[in-house]
Structure 1
């Protein structure tokens, strides 16, 4: 689940864009959309809107590339709040002003296939900072 900038279009249900790792001159590693990269697919679903300011989306990576969700949301034009590597500093600052001092990307549910064919489902609730920030976003 991620809190992203702007109004995510309901029709945008997936982002399929190849990803490639690269090194900046500073030595920092980044991932970017690049036709020479590895195939990457993420399925998205709108969970909640906060006007045109922000949208809460569910993100299900079909492939498991480094920073896949972060780069795919950015590629779709919707940076994740609090993302210091790929994000929108102005949007992140506005979220920080509401008390959100973290990356707003949260694995709230994981499904792990087990050797016997069954699936292990694990859920993790959001922390208080996440919940309070969303509450403030919802305030009139």
Structure 2
């Protein structure tokens, strides 16, 4: 809980923004009694209202926006619906991403397995989904890409990168074990999903000001990239 206090990036009377660590659920449930939002409520017992504006997968790190007023939540949800909020993620993917592939448009269908686990696949029966991509940095057998989802489907970036033939490093659901093994042998030390919500741009619900909040990568992601930059 004290750790949550250390990852707050910005806070005022309307909103709170934090850099969610990987491996932390955004809320309890699915066998977890405790998530970020429960932790925040315990950390701020005096706060009358604290609600998640959006979600991040448990293993994804980065910018997470929390509303401190119902009016702020309504305003921010409206921005999400009207696509007025821009989210940028950084992902380390297998192989050489082709620079001309700037967008992946593939409909996504969510299935719930008997175990209760959610699995998403590309299907013509699915919901229209689009993610935009930009190459940030290239390595011998991997590429760091900036991913900007236009729609907000479950596991969207993870499935779209896999569909494009470039699964994300250490994705236990949609990834590639051989790629993960390559990263381990290269001495990256990586043991977590390399998907990080790096930036969020939105209109402040109280002031109307356009805000951009950036979340730094954790040490494990930085170290991984440093190792990949070393000449072989």
Instruction: Determine the C-alpha separation between the residues in 2 that align with 1:83 and 1:99.
Output: 15
- CA deviation digits over 1:50-108, x for unaligned, max 9? 03x10000000000111100000000000000100110011112223420111100011
Partner secondary structure for residue 42 of structure 1: strand
**Contact conserved, 1:82 with 1:95, CA < 8 A, in 2?**
no
The residue correspondences of 1:77-116 to structure 2 (distance < 5 A) are: 77-97=165-185, 98-115=188-205
**Contact conserved, 1:95 with 1:101, CA < 8 A, in 2?**
no
Give the alignment partner of residue 39 of structure 1, picking from 120, 128, 141. 128
The runs of at least 4 aligned residues of structure 1 exceeding 4 Å deviation read none
Pairing 1:124–2:215 present: yes
Instruction: Determine the C-alpha separation between the residues in 2 that align with 1:20 and 1:126.
Output: 30
Matched residue count: 139
Instruction: Determine the C-alpha separation between the residues in 2 that align with 1:135 and 1:23.
Output: 38
TM-score, reference length from structure 2: 0.57
- CA deviation digits over 1:27-59, x for unaligned, max 9? 4210111111111000000001003x1000000
TM-score, reference length from structure 1: 0.93
Structure of higher RCO (CA pairs closer than 8 Å, 6+ residues apart): 1
Gapped regions of structure 1 (runs ≥ 5): none
Q: Which has the larger radius of gyration?
A: 2
C-alpha displacement at 1:26, in angstroms? 4.0
